[in-house]
Copies of this chain bind each other. A is one copy, B any other.
C-alpha cells in the first residue's frame, strides 16, 4: 500500500486566494460562500425541501420561465448537457447541432453517444451561429441544439430567432456562461431545454448544473433513458414540490444551500442590474485591452461582456505571462482551447468577479507584464 510523503496534518501551507478572471469558476458571492457552511440537513428534511423548492423558484426567475421542471442537476454543467440529450434521444433521431467552438463540438459528441444522427452546422470560431443554417439543416430534426455563449470563444448566438422558427423541433440551449450575465429569456424565446453551471455568472462554486425543461419537452421524455443517474422522470419525482418526495439519489445539500444563497444575492441585486454590471465590466475591459494594443477574437457585435477573448500579442510568452499574473498578482486568466491553445487568452468577468475594481487591476497588471 502506498504511503504519502507527508502526514495529512503537516501539509498546511497558506491558503491561496485568487482573483478568478478565467472562463470559470468565478469568485463566488460572499453570501454563496457563507451558505456552504450552513449546518447539514437530510435530503428529506422538511427544512431542506423548503430550501430546495425556493432554489427552484429562484432559478425560474433567473431563467425567466414558468417551467415546472426547473432544478439543479447534482453534477457540473456538462452533466446538464448530457441530461438534456439522454432523456430525449432515441437511436437514429436527427439532431442538428451548431458548432462554433469547443462546447458545440461537445454537444455533438454527447448527442452521438446517445445514438442520435447528428447534423453538424459549423461556423468559424469566434463567429455566432447563423439561424437560417441551423433551421434548414434538416427537414424534421427532433432537437436543434446551440450554444448561447461559447465559453471557448466569447461569442454570443441569438436564440430568439431560432425559437420563433423551430417548428416541431425542440430548441436546446447551452447557457452555461450566459445565465445571470446577459439576458436569458427561456419562455419568450421558445427554448425547450436549457442548462447552465453554477460557477459562472451565477456566482456560486462549481458542482451543480441548473436545467429547465418545457412542458412540451417533458411530454417527450423517454421512459427509460440509458442513464439512471440522469433519468429526468425519476429525478422529477424528488425535485417536483407538489408530488410525494420519492428518493432518487442523495441531494448535494451544501451546494444547494450555496446556490440558494447565491441566487438570493443575484435576485436581490436584480437581473437587470446584474446584466448591466457584467456589461459595464466587459465594455471597460475591451476598451482597456484595446488601449494596451490587444486584438479581440470574437466577432464585433457578438462579444460577450462576461467573457472576452483576445489574441496573445505576437512574441509574448503566453504561459509565462499567465504564470506571472497568477504568481505575482494572484489573478487567474484562461488559455485558449483546442486549435487556439497558446494563441488566445480568455478573460472572464463573471458573478462576483464582475466588478470594475477587478477589471482595473487586471489591466494594470497586464500593462506591466506585456
Query: Quick one: which of B8, B39, B255 contacts A15, CB cutoff 8 A?
Result: B39
Q: Which residues of B contact A33 (CB under 8 A)?
A: 37, 40
A150 interface residue per 8 A CB criterion: no
Of B4, B187, B250, the contact of A206 (CB 8 Å cutoff): B250
- Chain B residues whose CB sits within 8 angstroms of the CB of A37 once the complex forms: 33-34, 36-37
- List the one stretch of A23-31, A129-137, A285-293 in contact with chain B: A23-31
Interface check A66, CB cutoff 8 A: yes
Q: Decide: A337 near B41, CB < 8 A? Known: A1-B64, A205-B252, A206-B252.
A: no
Whether B45 contacts A16 by the Cβ 8 Å rule is yes
Q: Is the CB of A75 within 8 A of B74?
A: yes
Residue of A114, A247, A249, A250 with most chain B CB atoms under a 10 A cut-off: A250
| Cβ 8 A contact of A250, one of B24, B81, B113 | B24
Contact check, A39 vs B18: say whether CB atoms are below 8 A apart.
yes
With a CB–CB cut-off of 8 A, which chain B residues contact A253?
25, 205-207
Chain B neighbourhood of A354, CB < 8 A: none
Chain A residue total in the interface (Cβ 8 A): 83
Question: Given A45-B326, A332-B42, is A78 in contact with B207 using a C-beta cutoff of 8 Å?
Answer: no
Number of copies: 2
The CA-CA distance from A86 to B64 in the complex, in Å, is 35
Residue A329 at the B interface, CB < 8 A?
Answer: no
Residues of B within 8 A of A264 (CB): 8-9
Contacts of A11 in B (CB 8 A): 54
Q: Name the B residues within 8 Å of A265 (CB-CB).
A: 8
Q: Mark A349-370, 1 if CB is under 8 A from B, else 0.
A: 0000000000000000000000
Which chain B residue shows the least CB distance to A323?
Answer: B46
Is A60 at the interface (CB under 8 A from chain B)?
yes
**Residue A17 contacts which of B9, B39, B81 (CB distance < 8 angstroms)?**
B39
Chain B residues contacting A237 (CB-CB under 8 Å) are none
What string of 1s and 0s marks CB contacts (under 8 Å) between A250-270 and chain B?
Answer: 111111001000011101100
Is A300 close to B, CB under 8 A?
A: no
Q: Shortest beta-carbon distance, A55 to chain B, in Å?
A: 11
Contact status A1-B66, CB under 8 Å = yes
* Given A8-B58, A247-B337, A114:B18 Cβ within 8 A: no
In chain A, positions 207-236 with a C-beta closer than 8 Å to chain B are 207, 224-229
Sample of 8 A–B contacts (CB below 8 Å): A7-B268, A8-B58, A22-B42, A33-B37, A45-B332, A205-B254, A252-B255, A254-B258
